[in-house]
Amino acid sequence: MKLQRVKGWWFIRLALTLVGKKGIGELKRASKNALKAQEKTLRGILGVSKNTVYGREHHFDDILKAAGPEELFARYRKQVPVNDYENFQPYIERHKQGESDVLFAGNPKMYATTSGTTREPKWIPITEQYYQEVYKAMNQLWFYTLIMNKPRAFYGKTLSVVGSAIEGAAPDGTVYGSISGISQRDIPNFMEVLHPAPADIFHITDYKARYYTIMRMGIEQDITLIITANPSTLVEMQNNVNEFYDEYVEDIENGTLSRRVSVSREIRAALEKRIRPNPRRAAELRALKFRYGKVLPKHYWPNLQIVNVWFCGNTKIFFDKIADSFPESCFFHEMGYYATECRPGIVLKSNSPDTVIFGHKIFFEFIHESELESKNPRIYRMDEVKKGERYCMVVTTSAGLYRYNMNDLVEITGFVNQFPTLKLIQKVNGTVNMTGEKLHERQFVEAVHAAEQDTGNRVAFFVGFADASRAVYRFYYEFVNADITQEKAENFTRVLDGYLKQFNIEYEAKRSSNRLKNPETSLLVNESFEKFKSACIDKGYRDGQFKVNLLMQDEKRHAMFKELVR
């Protein structure tokens, strides 16, 4: 299949190159002096917010009187503690009710929602300044890195899978939704030609219908770039292809969107404006199936240049399932480390999966892994961290998060001048994360207790394990009533699963999209915890310090519980 270049491809490449080179230059200049860059960044953030409620309470004006960087950082640490989301929640609630100048000057542009450690999701404010300085500026630089890796990345169409830009509104009317959706919605006009479908597609609530529609629109096109954070999405997209390939071909031939998929009238109307009968492409797709049987991305997108996706940590399991399905010449670009609360940087180099952090946009502090349990840990500056060492990162952003503990363990992998590069190792706060669900132990415990109330079946002991290779949680129970049947235990799990969906919006999304499979159920023998503890002590655990997490991703411990199944 000959590469079909999009209209204006040369202008897209030129514009992204010019803007990208400017961003690279700014980064390299700032990275030559990390201490100066961090001082300027912190002064800028505090200066804008010094007259806010939080700024006055924490004496930002006095902090800013510091004579130099060392004094500035010392005063900041003295006046502002290391914070979790719960410390900011009361201030965010005031913003949500319409109050201005609480955490930051004015009101937020939007809120990005994500799962927290409790039933309630986190509402992360995104200010206009933060959006422009971090998301918009970093996106421009990110697109340029794709061109540096593969000059033809933007010659064809781009298939990106993002969340809904707007999912609702706070009491004052400020919208909340997906920052990735907002970023795609706000792309420059000249880049709109790259996308085979309007952003309305991401508002389709039925996930099978959403995947169907994404692939029906995408498989018709000559795709040269795919952008999606989690490779489990690629797995589910191909599963959809395997199931509905013939329906795609029929739709493409006739210029339709199947009535068998659940798409609202409004979204269907927006999509139908974009589609026309395409018998030539339908014939090509039929020929591919006749030749290969099972049709893969390397067959229907042979000109694919880049897949931009996570393939670090747990996500590598899903990546390995799909990687061989793409053209050999396709380049896989690591999405890099970021979270809803903060996008600390981007991956620059084609031969490195590591994120270079932007010390000229965000203020960074680090706690060494050896001091994570300390009440008064030493705080390291960005210019003090060492390659090969692991730290928990603390960030200050222009979106009102001051000394925010990311609760992520990262490893320093190198430096761009004096700015560190890093990779994510794992969560450090009792959270399990296979496909982006970030399920916290506390949510699991509360869901078990809620299921006890609903079913009337009490548990003497319970534990949950994440099996990342299969994208499934397995729950183990020892019920007070030892005669509970497997059928009743599985019903308990169904109720529990329902509560987990209520308590964690990310879990609900991943379950609905089938990226997380139905949880599985096992019944434990009597006195299971005592037997597990005894086995651990036999292996050298200290009796006085023995404890067990109730939600884990630990195959050694999982294997021990498998031996305790009834």
Percentage of the chain lying above the pLDDT 90 cut: 64
Percentage of the chain lying above the pLDDT 70 cut: 97
Kindly provide the b/e burial profile for residues 260-270, where b requires at least 16 CB atoms within 10 angstroms of the residue's own CB: ebebeeebbeb
Work out the end-to-end distance of the chain between its first and last CA atoms, rounded to an integer number of angstroms: 57
Among 25-34, 206-215, 517-526, 547-556, the minimum mean pLDDT is found in 547-556
Q: What is the pLDDT of residue 184?
A: 79
pLDDT band at 313 (very low <50, low <70, confident <90, very high): low
Q: What is the pLDDT of residue 473?
A: 96
Q: What value does the mean pLDDT take over residues 463-479?
A: 93
Q: What value does the mean pLDDT take over residues 440-445?
A: 87
Could you report the per-residue pLDDT of 165-223, keeping only the tens digit for each? 888 999 999 999 888 888 777 777 888 888 888 888 888 888 889 899 999 999 999 99
Distances (CA, A) of 159 to 148, 193, 307, 464: 19, 12, 10, 36
Is 338's pLDDT higher than 60?
Answer: yes
Which strand (E) or helix (H) includes residue 114? Answer: strand 110-114
Distances (CA, A) of 431 to 289, 436, 441, 482: 43, 11, 6, 30
Distances (CA, A) of 465 to 469, 470, 479, 492, 559: 12, 12, 18, 16, 10
Could you report the per-residue pLDDT of 111-165, keeping only the tens digit for each? 998 877 666 788 999 999 999 988 888 888 999 999 998 999 999 999 988 887 8
Q: What is the pLDDT of residue 214?
A: 93
Q: Please choose, from the candidates 92, 109, 112, 110, the residue with its C-alpha nearest in 3D space to the C-alpha of residue 52.
A: 92
Is 545's pLDDT higher than 80?
Answer: no
Q: What is the pLDDT of residue 542?
A: 43
Could you report the per-residue pLDDT of 405-418, keeping only the tens digit for each? 998 889 999 999 99
Count of positions (residues) in the chain: 566
Q: What is the pLDDT of residue 537?
A: 64
Q: Please choose, from the candidates 521, 373, 371, 501, the residue with its C-alpha nearest in 3D space to the C-alpha of residue 439.
A: 501
**How far is the C-alpha of 326 from the C-alpha of 546, rounded, in Å?**
47
Q: With beta carbons less than 8 A apart as the criterion, state whether 404 and 342 touch.
A: yes
Please give the DSSP secondary-structure letter assigned to residue 131. I
pTM, rounded to two decimals: 0.82
Domain boundaries, the chain: 10-128+337-427, 129-334, 431-562
Q: What is the pLDDT of residue 547?
A: 58
Q: State the number of CA atoms in the 13 A half-sphere of 69 facing the CB.
A: 14
Beta bridge partners of 419: 416
